[in-house]
Amino acid sequence: MRTHASASRTGNSISARARLSSWKMSRGQAVEPALPAYITNRRIHTGCCSGIPSAALPPQIVTETAYDITEMPPIGAMVRDPNALVLRSDTGIETFNQFIDSISELTFGTQGVGSAAHTVTLMLSAVTGAFPVNRLQFVHYAGTSGAQTGMARGEIDAMIVGTVSSAAQVAASVDSAQLFCVFSSPANATEYERQTQYYSSAIDSVPDLDRYAELTQFIRMLVTPPEVPAEPLSALRNAFSKLIEDEAFRQEAVDRNRPITNPGNYETVAETLRDRAEVYGSEPLRGVFNDAFS
In tens, the pLDDT along 189-235 reads 666 666 677 778 778 889 899 899 988 888 888 888 888 899 999 99
pLDDT of 234: 95
pLDDT of 201: 72
Task: Determine the topology of domain 2-30+83-216 in CATH.
Answer: D-Maltodextrin-Binding Protein; domain 2 (3.40.190)
pLDDT of 11: 36
Domain ranges in the chain are 2-30+83-216, 45-80+223-270
Q: Which residue positions in the chain have pLDDT lower than 50?
A: 5-36, 38, 50-60
pLDDT of 35: 47
Distance CA 98, CA 105 (A): 11
User: How many CA atoms lie less than 13 Å away from 15 in the CB half-sphere?
Assistant: 3
Q: Is the pTM of this model over 0.85?
A: no
pLDDT tens digits for range 128-146: 999 999 999 999 998 888 9
